[in-house]
């Protein structure tokens, strides 16, 4: 089936929507009826046909509109894309892995011809055709990381490995859950995670860093993370918090089903071949509570997870102020029946 | 006055181990206000640290200038302000050879700014020592307008650049030498918690 792209917005009138197909393939982040941090890492890609886990870089119906939203954010604030000088090679690594993957996985949408270092890239959905010399930045309109991530859904961080740690030395970050690349760039793994409550004491970061440092060439993994966002807004940045913050207080029992969104992050990790850096894409999926509750298993489970969650996490994830309204709404979808294990909806 | 010890409220807050003499290695020493006392203590433990030292002092009204001048560093430079001292500091850091030690003592704002500069010029982290003395005012970067407000001693506080009312997030950047500060009434404009003095 050829992908149809939605014409939609992630700001202003918020015309974003999910088709039925998009809802059913959501990477629902809860595999049980409760939630606490874990290092929930598994191999990537790999998963049911049609799921967002099937291919290395998932392309879905929101592709074109998300790329337009990224361009608007970058025009407003060019600091959302930064790369320290030693990271250009990692940018080429990322460009290569994305172009090769997309051309193989979506041959009707993307094509890559390679003749030595002379490359020819065709991106049909965005109407882009580019001939360039691989590893020669003067042959692209911008740096390699910026070039390819303006054409790829999700935020991207490039992590440089040295001194037994990972350093966030480059990134493209326009759909973030309230963190600032401009502030965090140059930080190590523990420094950029400092604002996360509880996890450090639980040893989550030590384990995660050990895992990442042990990643070998050619390996890639994924994990799911989540938060809650009012309105389908991609740019929930701290920079603009005073602009989107007031929207968080507009939730009522009448509008919560359409306005309150579950924000799912499909995070993946890629050891890059030339730079030995790790690419860390953070792909965001948004679904309003109404969308979620079309799947009875998800409605039941989300009610239980958000009702019983540790208050510290409700605060950190930013929905404590609306938790009661959300849980009241969701309770109508929870008949108390048991839920099946795993994240996929019941057939 | 001893090295300041802090409440554990901010986990990412840098810890300042205090100055330890590294012998007669070439060094750059920068102190402001009560930071002078940390330099005096350092010299007390091993006077050899002065043999190849440039000592820069920004008094900010404190009265330690003559004592520091008498120590006999290779070069002693008293400066009117940190901004005024930056040309000299850039020159010294830019010309520093491998093995040069950087001793910083005094306010968090000065130490954060100079250590960030030194790191950006390629000085290794383990060649930088810091000791916090005097004011507990902190350097804050407004995440909205990116302006830095120095010597902040209240929570919340008013950004000296854009005027938003900001609270401190538990987040410190060594690259910038500042804490992150975020609008406190973003969700409910005008509803601002009572101002509290930061005590430590």
Q: Per the structure, how many domains does chain B have?
A: 2
Q: Does B168 lie in the same domain as B99? A: no
Q: pLDDT for A162-208, tens place per residue?
A: 999 999 999 999 999 899 999 999 999 998 988 887 777 788 889 99
Sign of CA dihedral A191, A196, A201, A207: negative
Give the torsion through C-alpha atoms of A137, A143, A145, A149, to 10 deg. Answer: -120
Contact list in B for residue A321 (CB cut-off 8 A) is 187
Q: Which of B115, B132, B149 is the last residue of a domain?
A: B132
- Tell me, yes or no, whether B6 lies in a domain: no
pLDDT of res. B86 = 97
Tell me: do B42 and B106 sit in the same domain. Answer: yes
Examine the pLDDT at B9 and tell me if it is beyond 50: no
| B107 and B151 share one domain | no
CA distances from B145 to A82, A181, A190 (A): 17, 14, 26
The answer to whether residues B78 and B153 belong to one domain is no
Confidence band, pLDDT 50/70/90 cuts, at residue B10: low
Last residue of a domain, one of B132, B151, B179: B132
- Residue A60 C-alpha from the chain's centroid: 13
By Cβ distance, the residue of B144, B175, B189 closest to A239 is B144
> Are B168 and B101 part of one and the same domain?
no
Closest CB from B146, B173, B187 relative to A245: B187
Torsion, Cα A175 A178 A180 A185, to 10 degrees, reads -90
State how far residue A38 is from chain B, nearest Cα, in angstroms: 21
Long-range contacts of A290-293 (CB under 8 A, 24+ apart): A290/A257, A290/A258, A291/A18, A291/A23, A291/A26, A292/A23, A292/A26, A292/A28, A292/A262, A293/A257, A293/A330, A293/A333
In a domain, residue B182? The reply is: yes
How close is the nearest chain A Cα to the Cα of B143, in Å? 5
CB pair distance less than 8 Å for B12 and A180: no
**Per-residue pLDDT at B13:** 67
Catalytic-labelled residue, pool A11, A162, A223, A271: A223
Same domain, B107 and B149: no
The beta-carbon neighbor of B186 closest among A180, A185, A241 is A241
Determine the pLDDT at residue A35. Answer: 94
pLDDT for the residue numbered B136: 86
Judging by beta carbons within 10 Å of its beta carbon (0-12, 13-18, 19+), is residue A43 exposed, middle or buried? Answer: exposed
What average pLDDT does the segment B55-65 reach?
Answer: 96
pLDDT score recorded for residue A124:
98
B69 CB-side CA count, 13 A: 9
Instruction: For strands B196-197 and B154-155, give the pairing.
Output: antiparallel
Residues of A in contact with B161 (CB under 8 A): none
Inter-chain touch A183–B11, beta carbons under 8 Å: no
Decide if B186 and A184 are in contact by the 8 Å CB cutoff. no
Q: Rounded to a whole number, what is the distance in Å from the CA of B96 to chain A's nearest CA?
A: 22
**How does DSSP assign A44-80, residue by residue?**
SS--STTSTTSSSS---TTHHHHHHHHHHHHHH-GGG
When mean pLDDT is compared across A257-261, B1-5, B84-88, the lowest value belongs to: B1-5
Q: Is the pLDDT of residue B5 over 80?
A: no
B78 with B126, same domain: the answer is: yes
Contact A239 B174 (CB under 8 A): no
Residue B2: pLDDT band with limits 50, 70, 90: low
Is omega for the bond preceding A45 within 30 degrees of 0, making it cis?
yes
Inter-chain CB proximity A186 and B170 less than 8 Å: no
- Mean pLDDT, 10 residues at a time, chain A of 347 residues: 90 98 97 88 95 98 98 97 96 98 98 98 98 98 98 98 96 95 94 82 87 94 96 97 95 98 97 97 98 98 98 92 98 97 91
ipTM for the complex shown? 0.88
A182:B12 CB<8 A: no
What are the chain A neighbours of B164 within 8 Å (beta carbons)? Answer: 242
Is residue B1 predicted with pLDDT exceeding 50? no
Residue among B186, B189, B191 with most chain A CBs within 10 A, to mutate: B186
Q: Provide Rg for chain B, Cα atoms.
A: 18
Whether the model clears a pTM of 0.95, i.e. scores above it, the answer is no
- CATH number for the domain that contains residue B123: 3.40.50.80
Average the pLDDT over B83-100 and give the result.
Answer: 95
The whole-angstrom distance between A239's CA and the closest CA on chain B is 4
Using a CB-CB cut-off of 8 Å, the residues of chain A touching B182 are 238, 241
Report the C-alpha gap between B142 and B160 in whole angstroms.
Answer: 9
Residues 132-191 of B with CB under 8 A from A: 141, 143-144, 146, 164, 169-176, 180, 182-183, 186-189
Contact B171 A194 (CB under 8 A): yes
Query: B142 or A200, which is more confident?
Result: B142
- Rounded (10°) CA dihedral A261, A283, A3, A71: 90
The nearest CA of chain B is from the CA of A180 a distance in Å of: 8
- Residue range B160-195, pLDDT digits in tens: 999 999 998 878 898 888 999 999 999 999 999 999
**B164 shares a domain with B122:** no
Backbone angles phi, psi at B178, to 5 degrees: -140, 160
Mean pLDDT (whole number) for B146-154? 93
Active site residue A80: no
- Tokens found for residue B43: 């010299």
Same domain, residue pair B91 and B48: yes
One domain, residues B89 and B183: no
Distance CA A97, CA A270 (A): 9
Does a structural domain hold residue B169?
yes
Does B148 lie in the same domain as B117? Answer: no
Q: What domain range includes position B32?
A: 27-132
pLDDT for the residue numbered B8: 45
Of B170, B180, B188, the CB nearest to A183: B180
**Domain map (residue ranges) of chain A:** 37-288
Q: Which chain A residues contact residue B144 at CB under 8 A?
A: 238-242
- Tell me whether residue B2 is in a domain: no
- Length in residues, chain A: 347
A10 CB-near residues (< 8 Å, 6+ apart): A16, A65, A66, A69, A232, A233, A234, A235
Peptide bond connecting A10 to the previous residue in cis, omega within 30 degrees of 0: no
Number of A:B CB contacts under 8 A?
Answer: 58
**Is the CB of B11 less than 8 angstroms away from the CB of A185?**
no
CA distance A86 to chain B (A): 13
Shared-domain flag, residues B35 and B124: yes
Angstrom CA distances, A83 to A20, A91, A168, A169, A179, stand at 38, 9, 9, 6, 17
User: Running DSSP on this structure, what letter comes out for residue B170?
Assistant: E
Residues A234/A239/A245/A246 CA torsion (nearest 10 deg): -110
Give the span between the Cα atoms of B200 and B198, in whole angstroms: 6
């Amino acid at each position: 089936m050829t992908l149809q792209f939605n014409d939609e917005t992630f700001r202003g009138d918020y015309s974003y929507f999910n088709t039925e197909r998009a809802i059913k393939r959501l990477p629902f982040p809860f595999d049980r009826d409760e939630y606490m941090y874990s290092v929930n890492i598994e191999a990537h890609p790999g998963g049911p046909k049609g799921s967002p886990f099937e291919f290395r870089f998932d392309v879905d119906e929101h592709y074109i509109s998300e790329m337009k939203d990224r361009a608007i954010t970058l025009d407003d604030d060019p600091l959302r894309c930064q790369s320290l000088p030693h990271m250009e090679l990692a940018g080429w690594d990322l460009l290569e892995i994305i172009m090769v993957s997309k051309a193989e996985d979506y041959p009707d949408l993307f094509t890559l011809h390679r003749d030595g270092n002379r490359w020819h890239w065709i991106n049909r959905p965005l109407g882009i055709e580019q001939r360039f010399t691989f590893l020669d930045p003067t042959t692209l309109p911008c740096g390699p990381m910026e070039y390819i991530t303006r054409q790829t859904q999700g935020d991207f961080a490039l992590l440089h490995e040295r001194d037994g740690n990972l350093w966030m030395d480059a990134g493209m970050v326009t759909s973030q859950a309230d963190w600032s690349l401009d502030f965090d760039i140059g930080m190590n793994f523990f420094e950029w995670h400092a604002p996360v409550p509880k996890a450090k004491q639980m040893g989550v970061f030590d384990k995660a860093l050990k895992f990442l440092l042990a990643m070998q060439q050619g390996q890639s993994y994924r994990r799911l993370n989540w938060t809650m966002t009012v309105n389908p807004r991609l740019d929930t940045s701290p920079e603009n918090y005073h602009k989107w913050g007031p929207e968080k207080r507009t939730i009522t029992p009448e509008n919560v089903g359409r306005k309150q969104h579950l924000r799912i992050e499909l995070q993946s990790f890629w050891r890059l071949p030339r730079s030995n850096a790790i690419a860390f894409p953070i792909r965001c999926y948004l679904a309003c509570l109404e969308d979620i509750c079309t799947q009875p298993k998800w409605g039941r489970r989300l009610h239980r997870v958000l009702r019983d969650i540790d208050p510290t996490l409700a605060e950190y994830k930013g929905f404590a102020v609306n938790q009661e309204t959300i849980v009241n709404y969701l309770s109508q979808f929870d008949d108390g029946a048991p839920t099946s294990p795993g994240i996929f909806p019941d057939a | 006055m001893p090295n300041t010890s802090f409440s554990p409220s901010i986990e990412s807050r840098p810890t300042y181990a205090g100055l330890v003499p590294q012998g007669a290695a070439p060094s750059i020493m920068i102190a402001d206000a009560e930071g002078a006392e940390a330099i005096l203590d350092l010299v007390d433990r091993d006077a050899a640290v002065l043999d190849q030292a440039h000592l820069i002092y920004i008094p900010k009204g404190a009265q330690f200038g003559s004592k520091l001048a008498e120590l006999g560093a290779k070069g002693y430079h008293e400066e009117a302000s940190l901004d005024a001292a930056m040309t000299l500091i850039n020159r010294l850091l830019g010309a520093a050879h491998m093995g040069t030690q950087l001793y910083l003592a005094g306010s968090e704002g000065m130490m954060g700014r100079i250590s960030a500069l030194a790191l950006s010029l390629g000085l290794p982290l383990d060649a930088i020592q810091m000791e916090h003395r005097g004011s507990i005012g902190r350097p804050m970067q407004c995440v909205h307008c990116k302006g830095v407000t120095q010597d902040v001693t209240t929570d919340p506080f008013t950004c000296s650049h854009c005027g938003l009312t900001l609270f401190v997030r538990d987040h410190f950047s060594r690259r910038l030498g500042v804490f992150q500060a975020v609008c406190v009434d973003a969700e409910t404009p005008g509803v601002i918690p009572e101002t509290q003095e930061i005590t430590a």
